[in-house]
Structure 1
C-alpha cells in the first residue's frame, strides 16, 4: 500500500521514490489550473524529510513526477515550465548549495558550489540540454530563463581576490562577484556578458564587509538573484544584498535606473521600501513585482519585518514608486532568504515563501497585515524544515517514455496490484491483465480509476503473472508495463 514514513511518501510499485508529503492548509474556489513545482531541500543540521530533487504535485498534494537526487547534499532549484522553440520544457539548476553540506561551508550561504549546471527536459522527461556558465564562472542557482530567442539568461558567480579594507573587510579578501550571461542554447555561444563588479559599487552593499570573516574572507556584497527581460533591450536585475533592483541597457551595459538601495533613483512611497528582496519581475503598466523578504543579513540573524509579495507602481516621469498590491501570509512569516511571486494566467498571484516551508495562491487584489487571510485561496505547508528556493504553478503535459510500474502482492486467491507511472499527467485509469503463463494474459479489471500517484487494485486472480495498462480519459491505452510475477505474502 501507499504509505508515508516520517512525512515522506513510499510506494510499492516505485520503491526508490520518497518525495516529501505536504499538508494542504487552505483550499478555496477560484484557484488557477495547473500543477505545483518545487525542489525540496534543507540546510545542514536540519532534518531532510524525503529526498532532494524536483517534484511536481497536483493540487491535492499528490506527487505527479519526482526525480530524486543521489543524496541530500545535491539539490535542484528554480524548477519550472518554460517554452523552448515554442514547446513546453522543464528547466532546473542542479548542484550543491553552500550551507547544505557542512556546518562551516567554504562559501557564503546560498552560493552555488563549483560543478553546478542547468538542465532542460522535454515532455518525455529526456534531457535535451545541459548548460553551464562560461568565462570561469560557476552556474548559479538563482536564475535560468529561456528567452523568445531560444537563448538562456542566467546568473553566474566567481570569487574575485581584492583588498576589502576600504569597506571594513580583510586585506586579502574576495568579492563574491556575479555576472549575467546569455547563452545561445543551440550553439553554446556566449552572446551577452555583464559583470556586476564593473558596474555596481560594493560600498553600497547592505551586508557589511566584516561578514567576510565568517565565510573564508569572501564578501557576498551583491547576491544577484533574478533577471527579467524588459522593453527596449533592457534587463531588470535584483541584487538581494544591495536592497536594490537595477534596470540596465544591454547594448551599453549602463544602469538606466535603480529602484531601492542607497542610490535609488525613485522616491519610495509609504510601505514601498523593501529589503533582502528576491524575484523582481516586470508587470504591465510600469509595475514591478518582487518578493520582499524584509529579513535578514544572515541565516541566523533575528527577524526584521514580515515577508510579503509586493507589487510597486512606477511613475517614470516623477520617479516615484508606490504600493500597488501586497500579499501577506496567514499566519505571519519571517523569511530569511529565497522566495518568489508568480503572476498566474487568471490574474492570481502564486508565492513560494523560500526558507519558510509554504507555498500560497492569492486572488489578485491581495491583502494587508491587518487582514492576512483575505484573498488567500490556497496554502500548502511542507514537512519539518524542508524548503524550496522558489515554487511555481504551471500547466504541464507529461508523456514519459519509460513504461508504467507495477507490483503485485498475493494473499490466497486475492491479488493486490499496485500501479504507477512517474510523470504521466494523462493517466486517468488502469487496466489489469493476469494469467497462468506469460503468453496468455487476460483482462481481469477493465478500468480502475487512478487514485493519486499509486493506485491499488484488488483482483480475484492467482496469476501468477500480471501486467497493467494506463488508460487516458477517453479509455485509450497510452502505456503498458512489463509483465511481473506476483509475490505471495507470508502468512502466520
Structure 2
C-alpha cells in the first residue's frame, strides 16, 4: 500500500531538539490484550509509516526517520536492517541501511533479506559485514541458513564466508532442502585474531520423553563455530546437544503455556530448546547467550561450561544487593562482556527482553549490566536502563551498544525504536523508523567510524517539469558525508561533448540532490566532490527537450 501524499519526502526526518523532558506519552506502557504480543498494534487501525522515494533509485524506499535529540547526544550514523511486515507493506522489500541523524539515507543494500549489518574491524581496517540467506523458525525465534559478506570501505567484496561441514539437515519451514551455507542470522563477530564467530542450527534426532515429548523426537542443536578468515579452517566448534549433561533439556523455557514442548515431532519442526543468539570471546574462551535457557554461559577453550548465570534463579551464582533492583532476566539478547579479570570477575551487558510471544507485557525490557564475582559466585545489578517516559515490552531481538563517553544505545529489535542514554543514564536521543509490529530490526547500531567512498559512479536522472525546465537529480549510494559535500554539474550544447565547463555548483542535500536545468538539448554530467575537487563523476546523459 502506498500513500501518495507521503512518499515524496524531501525533508526526510521529523527532528526535534529539546532541553526539557520528553513528552508524557505512555502508549507502550499499556499491557497487551491476552494472547497478543506486547505493544501489539492492529494493522487495520494503526497508521502506515511514511517512506521516501528517489528519482535516481526508484526501487529504494527507506523509512522516514523520526528523531528527537537533546544537547549532548552522540553524533554518528545509524546502521540497521529494517524488516517490514510484508502483508502490511508488500511494496517495501527488506534492505540494509545506513542513515544519518538528519534522516538521510547514506547507503542501502540490494533488495533482499539481510541481517546482522555492522561495522567491524578486520586487519586494523573498518569493514561492513552482514548476513544473507534463507529464514526458518517461528514468528518470534527465527533462525537462518546463509552467508556472511565482508565489504571494504569502497563496498568491494573482501570475502563471502560460508559453512557446510556435511552434517546439517535443514529444519522447520526450510523444508529440508539443502543449502550451500548454514551460518545462522544471530551472530557474526570478527575477532582481533582475524577469525569469525558464528552460530548455526541443525535438526537432530533425540529422545524427548524425559520432557514429555516423543521418544523418536527431534530438537534443534544450537551450534557455535569460529572460522579462520584466511584459511576457512574451523578453529572451534560447540554443540549444545553434546553438552546436555551440563545443560539438561529441562532447563529450557521454550514451552507452550500449558508446559509442553513446542514442536519436536519431526525434522522440519524440531524443538528449539536452547537458541544461542550471541557469542563473544571471554578471556581464553567464550560467553554465549541462550535465549530459551534464560542464561549467559561461559565456555572454556575446549567448550566445557565454566559457569551458568541463569536469569531466573542465578544458576551458579547467588543474587546479592537486590534491594530496589533485580538481577533477574529472561529471553535476553546481545550478551557482551564489558570488562573482566580472568577467574576473578566480569561485568556483562545484555538486552534483557524479559518477554517473548507467550510470556509478555509483565516485565519491562531493559539494558541490563551485571557484575559477577567469579570467586564468590555472586551477581549484582550495576544498572537497568529504560526510558521512564516510554517503557517497552520487547518480545524479540534487541541491542545494547556501548558508545564513546560512556553513552549507551538500546535498540528495541521487534519495536522499531532506538534510545540513547548519556553517562548519567538520562535519555538524550530517541529515534523511530516505523510503527510497532509493522517493522523490526534484529540489531541496530550508532557508529562514528564509518567513512566510505563507493567504487561505483554516482547516478543522475532527469524529470521534465511543466514549466519546460528539467530537474536533474543526483545521488551517490554509499558515500558518507565526509567524502563529498556538493555537486559540480557539467553541460554542453554539443550532445557529443566534451564536458569540460562547470555550469552549476550545488550543495549536497541528503541522499538525492536536485538542480534545475533550463530547457534545451544538451549533454549533462555531474561530479560529487568537496570544494573544487571532484571525487567521482557520473555517466553523462543526453537531455532532449525542445526549447520553450
User: How far apart are residue 131 of structure 1 and its match?
Assistant: 1.1
Question: Contact (CA 8 Å) 2:319, 2:379: kept in 1 or not?
Answer: yes
In the alignment, what sits opposite 1:15?
Answer: 58
**1:87: which partner in 2?**
125
Per mean C-alpha deviation after superposition, the further-off stretch among 34-43 and 4-13 is 4-13
- Is contact 1:159–1:218 with CA below 8 Å preserved after alignment? yes
Provide the residue aligned with 2:143 in structure 1.
112
Matched residue, 2:107 = 65
Query: What are structure 2's unaligned runs of at least 5 residues?
Result: 1-5, 10-47, 169-181, 341-345
Distance 1:433 1:457, change over 3 A: same
Query: Which of 194, 199, 219 is residue 238 of structure 2 equivalent to?
Result: 194
> d(CA) in 2 for partners of 1:433 and 1:465?
8
**Would you say the 8 A contact 2:314–2:328 is kept in 1?**
no
* 2:305 counterpart of 1:255: yes
Sort the Cα spacing of 1:58 and 1:490 in 2 relative to 1 into closer, same or farther, 3 A. farther
Could you tell me whether the CA contact under 8 Å between 1:19 and 1:51 is conserved in 2? Answer: no
Question: Quick check: 1:274 aligned with 2:329?
Answer: yes
Within the alignment, does 1:328 sit opposite 2:382 as a pair? no
Distance in 1 separating the partners of 2:378 and 2:544: 70
Cα distance change on mapping 1:420 and 1:342 into 2, 3 Å: same
Match of 1:381 among 403, 420, 432: 432
CA contact (8 A) 1:247 1:257 kept: yes
What does 1:406-421 align with in structure 2 at a 5 Å threshold? 406-411=460-465, 414-421=469-476
TM-score by length of 2: 0.80
- Cα distance between partner residues in 1 of 2:153 and 2:376: 47
CA shift, 1:318, in A, is 2.5
Q: CA deviation at 1:45?
A: 4.3
Classify the secondary structure of the residue corresponding to 2:405. coil
Secondary structure, counterpart of 1:338 in structure 2:
coil
CA distance in 1, matches of 2:7, 2:519: 21
Query: 2:89 maps to which residue?
Result: 47
Does 1:160 pair with 2:204? yes
2: CA distance between counterparts of 1:179 and 1:419?
Answer: 46
Q: 1:302 Cα shift?
A: 3.9
Q: Which range is displaced more, 427-436 or 49-58?
A: 49-58
389, 393, 396: which one pairs with 2:446? 393
How many Å separate the matches in 2 of 1:31 and 1:489? 51
Shift of 1:427: 1.7
Check the 8 A contact 2:148/2:183 in 1, yes or no.
yes
Which of the residues 348, 359, 363 maps onto 1:305?
363
Among candidates 217, 231, 243, match of residue 294 of structure 2: 243
Residue-by-residue CA offset, 1:179-212 (whole Å, 9 max, x unaligned): 1101111111111111112122222111235211
3-state DSSP class of the match of 2:496?
coil
> Displacement, 1:23?
1.6
How many Å separate the matches in 2 of 1:147 and 1:35? 23
Are residue 358 (structure 1) and residue 400 (structure 2) matched?
A: no
DSSP 3-state at the match of 1:133: coil
Partners in 2 of 1:421 and 1:447 — Cα distance? 16
8 Å CA contact 2:520, 2:545 repeated in 1:
no
Structure 1 residues 108 and 173: CA distance shift in structure 2, 3 A: farther
> Is structure 2 residue 348 aligned with structure 1 residue 288?
yes
1:463, distance to aligned residue in structure 2 (A)? 4.3
For 1:371, the equivalent position in structure 2 comes to none
Give the C-alpha shift of residue 263 in structure 1: 6.7
Q: How far off is 1:29 after superposition?
A: 2.0
- 1:227 pairs with 2:279: yes
Report the Cα offset of residue 293 of structure 1: 0.2
Measured after TM superposition, the shift of residue 409 of structure 1 is 2.5
SS of the residue corresponding to residue 9 of structure 1 reads coil
| Counterpart position of 1:205 | 252
CA distance in 2, matches of 1:163, 1:43: 36
Distance 1:295 1:463 in 2: 62
Residue 357 of structure 1: CA displacement? Answer: 1.1
- Please report how far the alpha carbon of residue 332 of structure 1 lies from its aligned counterpart in structure 2 after TM superposition: 1.4
Distance (whole Å) between structure 2 residues aligned to residue 166 and residue 217 of structure 1: 18
**Bigger Cα displacement from structure 2, 350-359 vs 166-175:** 166-175
Q: Deviations over 1:434-470 (max 9, x none)?
A: 1222314354544211011001112446343211010
Q: Which moves more between the two structures, 6-15 or 31-40? A: 6-15
Match of 2:32 in 1: none
Alignment partners' CA distance in 2, 1:457 and 1:441: 17
* Separation in 1, partners of 2:183, 2:547: 51
Q: TM-score, normalized by length of structure 1?
A: 0.88
Answer yes or no: is the 8 Å Cα contact 1:173–1:217 preserved in 2: no
Q: Is the 8 A contact 2:140 2:395 kept in 1?
A: no
1:78 aligns with 2:116: yes
Question: Using the alignment, how far apart are the partners of 1:68 and 1:51 within structure 2?
Answer: 10
* Aligned partner of residue 210 in structure 1, secondary structure: coil
Structure 1 residue 48 displacement after superposition: 5.6
Structure 2 counterpart of 1:405: 459
Offset from partner CA, 1:121-169 (integer Å, 9 cap, x none): 1111122111122433421111001111111011111111112121122
Check 1:235–1:423 CA distance in 2 against 1; reply closer, same or farther (3 A cut): same
Distance 1:489 1:183 in 2: 61
Q: Report how many residues are paired.
A: 465
1:254, distance to aligned residue in structure 2 (A): 1.3
Q: Distance in 2 between matches of 1:63 and 1:393?
A: 14
